[in-house]
Structure 1
Amino acid sequence: MKAVVCTKYGPPEVLQLKEVEKPTPKHHEVCIKIRATAVTASDCIVRGFKLPIWHPIGLLMGLVVGFRGPRNSILGMVLAGEIEAVGRDVTQFKSGDQVFAFTGTHFGCYAEYTCLPEGRMMVFPGTVPSVITAKPSTMTYEEAAAVVYGVAMASHFLRGGHIQRGQKVLIYGASGAIGTTAVQIAKHHYGAEVTGVCSTANLEFVTSLGADHVLDYTRQDSVVEGARYDFVMDAVGKKKSSKLKLACKNALTANGKYMSVDSGNPTPRLEDLVLLRELIEAGKFRAVIDRCYPLEQIVEAHRYVDQGHKKGNVVITVA
């Protein structure tokens, strides 16, 4: 089968398209024919491994992923495809089922096939488990692959906000993969009054996702005077900042909560994918795809994501 292999850390050029052996499912696993995947910010962090091993996060990453190079040389954490074969102990899936999945630190999505456990497996500290469920019936494979990463990340932090219906929520970085998901879930699942923060070019786009208000981080130095939020989510982390970002962090109600994507290690839940599928099939959530590349152009896709300006998701068509 075709797969993109990463045997050492470095720039996008370390990724190489090769022919490798097709995996065979174990008794508790399913073999998935991957139709589409996506290049996420996490993929680029792993590929580049820019943190020194003496840094706490760098050390943990090295222990989990590998120090000299990835233990699993096939990267990629999200997929959409169909079940081709199942192990003898599998009961929830059958051949031909259309699925989407978050593979966590199992990786393996930059390929034509991968095998995943049917259910949640025991994980070691620092590792991220895989979750798999039926693909939304109203979405293409490309659209389904585009939404997995955002929901796996955004749902974790939104849960931490303990959001109640009608509360005011601000999403900083509302036009990225995590931000576009957070805006839609906060609005259509939690019933919050959502303010999205983004660049000038994306104001109308973020409004179209359901944001009640939008702020332009390039033009405003502070939150609208007197505005207070019950929950503020920083969907870009420490890599980007602005005067407005600092103001947003301080514009909390007395019991308000602030969370950043740099805070903690999100653990995906099956119920998050199930909720997402329900919102999608009810017409309350849509995929946001910036660009789409074939598997053969994954180096170019990584270069683009490395720039840090994508709107939504960068999808890879596999087969």
Structure 2
Amino acid sequence: MKAIVQDRYGSPDVLTFSDVDEPVPAANEVLVRVRASSVNAYDWHLMRGDPALARLASPAVFGLRAPKRRIRGRDVAGIVEAVGANVTQWKPGDEVYCDVGDANGAFAEYVCAPENLVATKPANLTFEQAAAVPIAANTALIGLRDVANVQIGQRLLINGATGGVGTYAVQLGKAFGAHVTAVCRTRNVELVRSLGADHVVDYTHEDFAKTRQRYDIVLDLVGNRSLTTLRSVATPEAAVVLSGGGTSKGGSLVGPMGLFLWAKLSARFVPQRLLEITVAPSGESLAELRELIEAGRVTPAIDRQYSLSEVPDAIRYVENEHARAKVVISV
């Protein structure tokens, strides 16, 4: 089968479109014929081994000179091709979607996934749209519902509202009854309005930190503002939630991890709750998201579509902060 393979850390130039063996599902896995995937910040961080500290902090994923697994990609939408001996939930022909997690392997014609991470594809989405959901939408869901515990009527600020996670956070914030303020650049204002944002701050003309508005939840998805700045727009009882993936600077020691570490050190000395989103792949979360999607309350927003052989170009586009919404891969 064809796949996007990596044997050393580096720029998108280290990725090759190669022939590899088709995977064989283990007893609790399903083999999925990949119809589409999508690009996430996770992919370029792993591709570059950036930040360098992650190579020590996550040794099961990051090797010293190359990722532990050669094939990149986590988001999958496709059709079950075969199932392992112990699989009972799925059968060949089922249309599914999932995040395969640290196993990676989604930028390929076939991928294996544990059966508990797989969910039925939303019936009203194409494979490309469905592939845009797993990591980004699950991150927004966990961040708002479980970490921030968003409540009806709360004021929610989203810094980075038109990234992959941000577009879902705007919609989920509205679905949960919050008043949503979205921060984005000029060209994305109409996009976030179409997603349901109550108020939009165009950061090329206005600094959200210099207004008098205060928020019950501050969700930072960029990592480009200091913790002091984020706290300055939060009420004393607010949740400041961090999930900024940053943008590629060609290599860093700590990257966005620096903001997370500073938040951990500061947490006991400030009134706000300083929180970090930790997300694990979940078939249950994808089932919940499917219900919201099929009910018309959440819709994937897609910026560009690339073919499997064009994954290096797709990642280059995402890591340089040109993308808005999701970038998908058609297989």
The alignment status of 1:168 with 2:189, answered yes or no, reads no
The 1-side partners of 2:322 and 2:91 are apart by 39
| Secondary structure of the structure 2 residue equivalent to 1:72 | coil
The 1-side partners of 2:301 and 2:281 are apart by 20
Q: For 2:188, which of 186, 193, 202 is the aligned residue? A: 202
Identical residues among aligned pairs (%): 42
The match for 1:97 is 94
Deviation, 1:254, is 2.7
The 2-side partners of 1:165 and 1:153 are apart by 20
Contact 2:77–2:98 (8 Å) recurs in 1: yes
Equivalent positions of 1:1-319 (< 5 A) are 1-52=1-52, 55=53, 57-119=54-116, 131-158=117-144, 159-188=146-175, 190-223=176-209, 225-237=211-223, 240-241=224-225, 247-262=229-244, 263=276, 265-318=278-331
The 2-side partners of 1:204 and 1:301 are apart by 24
Deviation, 1:314, is 0.8
The 2-side partners of 1:176 and 1:272 are apart by 20
- 1:264–1:204: structure 2 CA closer, same or farther, 3 Å change rule? closer
| Farther-moved stretch of structure 1 (303-312 vs 266-275) | 266-275
- Which ranges in structure 1 are unaligned for 5 or more consecutive residues? 120-130
Deviation, 1:72, is 1.1
| Farther-moved stretch of structure 1 (81-90 vs 222-231) | 222-231
Deviation, 1:246, is 6.1
The 2-side partners of 1:64 and 1:91 are apart by 29
The 2-side partners of 1:299 and 1:226 are apart by 43
- 1:63–1:102: structure 2 CA closer, same or farther, 3 Å change rule? closer
- Which ranges in structure 2 are unaligned for 5 or more consecutive residues? 245-275
- 1:91–1:5: structure 2 CA closer, same or farther, 3 Å change rule? same
Q: TM-score, normalised by structure 2?
A: 0.86
What amino acid sits opposite 1:49 in the alignment? G
The 2-side partners of 1:222 and 1:109 are apart by 37
| Secondary structure of the structure 1 residue equivalent to 2:132 | helix
The 2-side partners of 1:247 and 1:63 are apart by 34
Q: Deviations over 1:36-94 (max 9, x none)?
A: 01111110000011323xx3x33113443322212210010101001011112111111
Deviation, 1:157, is 1.6
Cα RMSD of the aligned pairs, angstroms, is: 1.7
Contact 2:124–2:294 (8 Å) recurs in 1: yes
| Farther-moved stretch of structure 1 (146-155 vs 205-214) | 146-155
What amino acid sits opposite 1:255 in the alignment? E
Q: TM-score, normalised by structure 1?
A: 0.89
The 2-side partners of 1:247 and 1:51 are apart by 23
Contact 2:61–2:69 (8 Å) recurs in 1: no
